[in-house]
Amino acid sequence: MEMEQRLRDICRSFRIQGSYVESELIPVGNVNKTYKVTYKREDGILKSYIVQQVNTFVFRKPEQVMHNIDLVTEHIRAKSTEGIPLHFHHTADRTGGKLCFILCLSTKYHIINAHIVLFY
């Protein structure tokens, strides 16, 4: 399967809203393959997502990595006194198979609106 179609399928699994516009390989980084995937929402606004293919040579058990990220996310949310909106999203069936997560983070003082999808 070509990568563009694979990226579309991955984004569909996470219920990314809108219509696919484009994807591009981000050629920096030493560990994972990273792509920027752009969708056009119904309101006409373009929304980009970072999609990373986890290097399973470096991360031999990516399911455990994702589980740890889930635990850390929950811990940060529980400890936050400022109500930091930190979200860990799963695929529709919550299993994901070889798909992992989208992480959205913003703080009271600045917005970090990172939408990241990991797969392997």
Strands 19-26, 33-40: pairing is: antiparallel
Instruction: Say whether pTM exceeds 0.85.
Output: no
The more confident residue out of 14 and 84 is 14
Predicted confidence at residue 5, as pLDDT, reads 92
Strands 33-40, 46-53: pairing is: antiparallel
CA distance 5 to 2: 6
Q: What percent of the chain has pLDDT over 90?
A: 17
Residues 6+ apart with CB under 8 A from 12: none
Mean pLDDT of 62-88: 73
pLDDT of residue 48 exceeding 80, the answer is yes
pLDDT of residue 101 exceeding 60, the answer is no
**Selection from 13, 7, 14, 71 nearest residue 33 by Cα:** 7
pLDDT by residue (tens digit) across 15-46? 788 999 999 998 888 888 888 899 999 999 99
Mean pLDDT of 77-94: 65
Check if the beta carbon of residue 38 is closer than 8 Å to that of residue 48. yes
pLDDT of residue 106 exceeding 50, the answer is no
Name the pLDDT band for 102 (thresholds 50, 70, 90).
low
Mean pLDDT of 74-101: 64
CA distance 48 to 24: 11
